[in-house]
Amino acid sequence: MIDITAEISGVKLETCVFNAAGPKDATLKELEVIAKSASSAITMKSCTLEPRKGNPEPRYCDLPEGSINSSGLPNLGYKEYVRFSSLLKKYHKPVVASVSGLKLADNVKIIKVFNNSEADLIELNLSCPNVPGKPQVCYDFEQSEEVLDAITDVCKKPLGVKLAPYFDFAHFEQMAGILRKRKLAFITCINSIGNALVIDPDKESAVIKPKGGFGGLGGKYVKYTALANVRKFHELLPHVPIIGCGGIYSGKDAFEFILAGATAVQLGTVFIQEGPSCFGRIQKELKDYLKKKGYETLEDFRGKLKTLD
């Protein structure tokens, strides 16, 4: 019997594979599709204080190996997601609230209300690259400290933080130093790689409309950056569970993330491109791969990546 269950801060996941905040998770109807799929948790769209229409369309484009989006946090406003967290309880899966207030006071207000909700985990999104005029908080280390101090003070649920990718060891260390000092239940690595530009040479045009065509890159293009971020944060913060996200399309991809140190994985672009069957397929592929390798649980190999030195 192959066991691919996972646990984050006492919250049990039937498997380590579930949906990422962002794709197809903004309405109750979309969330019910996730609830009825094999996804082992229901992550809701990142929410803001007020409802948002998001950026002008087209704001998402499939690419040969992934996607680009500049959605701009289209969501129904946090009150709806508090309500949905109760309505989704009947599916008996952990519900993950994703919070992305446009300013610190908004985040504090939203989190205080989620404290009394049915959400099981709260993922604070400090890494959305797509709100015009709003830099990604997690690239500003001083602001990140200020936000995390205020939020860890008020949050009564297991709190995690979703980070953008880092590319420099000094930045990994700086962020890890900040996270080490705060009580965090998990870290999610990574959000899309911000501000990529995809060009259609026939039309001589960008492929998405917002921000002059700049948007977050996802899918297979980002897998190796995501793996590096999971690995580095696992090395620097070995006791903090990491949820890996970015370019997971197969059971073998999920295996690589766990080998790098992830506790669980989230699916984003593949869910948009394949639909809800991706969850069961990737879980089965992961189990089959473990069986082939002679592993029985994720603990048999989690974080045990070999290096060549």
Rounded CA gap, 114 and 116, in Å? 5
* Strand 242-245 relative to strand 264-267, pairing: parallel
Q: Which of residues 33-52 bind ligand SIN (CB under 6 A)?
A: 46
* Shortest distance (Å) from residue 90 CB to ligand SIN: 27
* Shortest distance (Å) from residue 306 CB to ligand SIN: 33
Q: Which stretch binds ligand SIN (CB under 6 A): 34-42, 71-79, 144-152, 286-294?
A: 71-79
Q: Which stretch binds ligand SIN (CB under 6 A): 70-78, 230-238, 265-273, 285-293?
A: 70-78
Candidates 19, 43, 125, 144: give the one binding ligand SIN (CB under 6 A): 125
Rounded CA gap, 181 and 148, in Å? 10
Q: Which of 16, 47, 61, 128 is catalytic?
A: 128
Rounded CA gap, 276 and 213, in Å? 28
Q: Which stretch binds ligand SIN (CB under 6 A): 29-37, 125-133, 261-269, 301-309?
A: 125-133
Which of residues 217 and 290 has its CB atom nearest to ligand SIN in the complex?
Answer: 217
Q: Is 19 an interacting residue with respect to ligand SIN (CB under 6 A)?
A: no
Rounded CA gap, 96 and 85, in Å? 8
Q: Which residue, among 96, 86, 84, has the nearest Cα to 27 in the 3D structure? A: 84
160: Cα separation from own chain's centroid: 10
Using CA atoms, how far residue 248 sits from 42, 191, 268, 293, 296, in Å, is 17, 13, 8, 19, 21
Side chain identity at 69, as an amino acid letter?
N
Q: Is 136 an interacting residue with respect to ligand SIN (CB under 6 A)?
A: no
Candidates 22, 66, 251, 303: give the one binding ligand SIN (CB under 6 A): 22
- To the query of whether residue 128 is one of the catalytic residues in this protein, the response is yes
Q: Is 191 an interacting residue with respect to ligand SIN (CB under 6 A)?
A: yes
For residue 142, the tally of other CB atoms under 10 A from its CB is 8
Contact positions vs ligand SIN (CB under 6 A): 22, 46, 71-73, 125, 127-130, 191-192, 216
